[in-house]
Amino acid sequence: MLSPQRLRCENHEFRDTGGRSEENCSIGFRPAFMDVATRAIYPSRFADGRPAPFHLLDGLPDGVVLHRHANGRVARVKESVVSGFVLDGRFYTREEAASELAAMAA
């Protein structure tokens, strides 16, 4: 289940693979989330709606948020929500983005 802590773990896990925003934004990948149950894609946004340059849960719609802290920050989202990226209208999981960057480098 995605939480801010889980996003930190994913960033550590995908370090130097191309599966992180700071490693793939230069070729056009934009951080996003997908609800795999509905196939809905949500670009990563700040709570005020501005696009976020990294994965941030605070801009996700209430329909996928399970718990918010008292200050409004998202604590947990539905289990069906995964982090990834959008490029040219297509959603890529972190694994797929890393694989795409590896293929480009080959």
Encoded tokens for 22: 């700071």
Question: How far apart, in Å, are the Cα atoms of 27 and each of 18, 38, 69, 71, 87?
Answer: 11, 27, 35, 35, 9
Q: Please give the angle made by the CA atoms of 2, 43 and 51, to the nearest 5 degrees.
A: 110
Q: Does position 31 have pLDDT exceeding 90, yes or no?
A: yes
- Domain spans in the chain, listed from the N-terminal domain onward: 4-105
**Residue with the two structure tokens 């994913």:** 10
Q: Are 66 and 76 in contact (CB under 8 A)?
A: yes
The whole-number average pLDDT for the span 22-26 is 94
Q: Name the band, by pLDDT with cuts 50, 70 and 90, for residue 69.
A: very high
pLDDT at 106: 78
Prediction pTM value? 0.94
The whole-number average pLDDT for the span 48-56 is 96
Q: What percent of the chain has pLDDT over 90?
A: 94
